[in-house]
Amino acid sequence: MNSGTENWKGCFVKDIQDNQSIEGVFLVKEMSLSETKAGKPFLTLTLMDKSGEITARVWDNAERLKEKCQAGEIITLSGMAQSYKGSLQLNVKGLQKYEQTADMGQFLPSASGDPQEMIAELKKYAMSIDDVFLKQLLSLFFKDANFVHEFSHAPAAKHMHHAYIGGLLEHTLGLTRLADEVTVLYPSIDRSLLLCGTVLHDIGKIKEFSFAAPPFDYSDQGRLVGHMVLAIEMINEKIAAIADFPGALAFRLKHLILSHHGRHEFGSPTLPMIREAFVLNFLDDLDAKINYIDRLCSQVEGEGYQWTPFQRTLERFLFVPGHAGQMVSDDDEALGKTDGKEEESTRQPSLWEL
């Protein structure tokens, strides 16, 4: 295969059918070496591309081939798709490392919008606020090229919402659009404070997640400290460079960051106590849930409203419209595979478990 040709990728996960002969290029998300009851080694791979995930088994030459298919490697393989206990798997006949330069956009789910256009729109909102100190603060972030690059590529979450490359930027822009509309309906809200809070509320996620190369996961500081505290540290660093930044204003902004999850059990060390904090919490939850539900809808094959499996994270079933012939990747939680029951499905569309 050649990355310069139209068909270098081969098949996509979402198109694989039972008893189909497969040749394609995939990203290895996970690899494990095990033994059969007879003591023969075999490999279990979780393969992915932008359309989903699938499990693959390598029964022959497992120990020799394991070095070629470590997590994060891109491999080309041939094999046969077979259904096993209701799930589709690949029986791998041959594999090797993909030696060409691969387009990672074919393997990792990403935001639909153009990153440069989204950044430009977000910056326009930031520069439209009236408070000179908050505008200066946001300007320092947008002038930081490394920050802008990381912010444009980071996912917004591990599983639930906007959990894909560019998801953080997409979520932040969507939230800022909503916030701007709300300030028109409620003139008592401090527009400058609210919009600054929406732009900065999740910036700590560029340090919380390790996403420079797959497989993606939490960073050490992400697990130990969390994105809210990391965001406060980043804001403090920028504020220190602004002369006479009002202390009371800094406290109100930090309150928005620390309270935007709304409840202690959801990770916020403090609860919303000012109008702008309430609005940020409500809009953040709204944008996250609509994104979650929209992705569920896009995975429903067939037209018309249908019931999803029980959504444990939302503690309810959902009644969603389907779209015939459309399918996008997502994680097992968003697919409803969290109620402890094995779903009768022949493919494993999934995002990555970050």
Which of 236, 266, 292 corresponds to the end of one domain? Answer: 292
User: Is residue 327 in some structural domain?
Assistant: no
pLDDT digits 0-9 by tens, 178-221: 999 999 999 999 999 999 999 999 999 999 888 776 667 888 88
Mark whether 273 and 143 lie in a shared domain.
Answer: yes
In the predicted model, is pLDDT for residue 17 greater than 50? yes
Mean pLDDT of 69-89: 88
pLDDT of residue 332: 37
pLDDT of residue 109: 76
DSSP 15: G
Q: Which CATH number does the domain housing residue 59 bear?
A: 2.40.50.140
Task: Indicate if the pLDDT at residue 342 is higher than 70.
Answer: no
- Better-predicted residue by pLDDT, 145 or 158: 145
Q: What is the pLDDT of residue 323?
A: 64
- The enclosing domain of 190 has a CATH number of 1.10.3210
Structure tokens at 126: 């930031």
pLDDT at 257 (0 to 100)? 97
- 175 and 253: one domain? yes
Which segment of 158-162, 179-183, 306-310 scores lowest on mean pLDDT?
158-162
Count CB-CB contacts under 10 A for residue 213: 8
Residues 20 and 58 reside in one and the same domain: yes
200 and 169 in a common domain: yes
Q: Above 50 in pLDDT, residue 320?
A: yes
Cα–Cα distance for residue pair 299/347, rounded to 1 Å: 12
For the ranges 113-127, 158-172, 193-207, 261-275, which has the lowest average pLDDT?
158-172
* pLDDT band at residue 161 using 50, 70 and 90 as cut-offs: low
- pLDDT score of 352: 28
Q: Which of 129-143, 249-263, 326-340 has the lowest mean pLDDT?
A: 326-340
Tell me if 309 is assigned to some domain: no
Q: How confident is the model at residue 302 (pLDDT cuts 50, 70, 90)?
A: confident
Q: Residue 327 pLDDT > 50, yes or no?
A: no
Average pLDDT of the chain to the nearest whole number: 84
* pLDDT attached to residue 165: 81
Provide the residue range defining the domain that includes 41: 13-105
d(CA 152, CA 149): 5
89 and 185 co-located in one domain? no
Structural domains in the chain (count): 2
Q: Do the Cβ atoms of 79 and 22 come closer than 8 Å?
A: yes
- Same domain, residue pair 178 and 159: yes
Residues 206 and 225 in one domain: yes
Q: Percentage of the chain surpassing pLDDT 70?
A: 86
Averaged over 220-247, what is the pLDDT?
95
Tell me the CA distances in angstroms from 39 to 42, 59, 61, 323, one per residue in order: 9, 12, 13, 46
Tell me: do 48 and 71 sit in the same domain: yes
Q: Are residues 277 and 165 in the same domain?
A: yes
Task: Kindly give, in sequence order, each residue whose CB lies less than 8 Å from that of residue 327, ignoring residues fewer than 6 positions away.
Answer: 14, 51, 52, 298, 299, 301, 349
Q: Which of 72, 105, 138 is the last residue of a domain?
A: 105
Domain match, 20 and 56 both? yes
- The secondary structure of residue 296, as a DSSP letter, is H
pLDDT of residue 158: 66
Helix, strand, coil percent content, the chain, rounded in steps of 5: 40, 20, 40
Residue 133 has pLDDT above 60, yes or no: yes
Residue 92 lies in a domain: yes
Any idea which of 29-43, 171-185, 321-335 has the lowest mean pLDDT?
321-335
Instruction: Provide the pLDDT for residue 10.
Output: 86
Is residue 278 a part of any domain in this protein?
yes
Task: Return the higher-pLDDT residue of 123 and 345.
Answer: 123
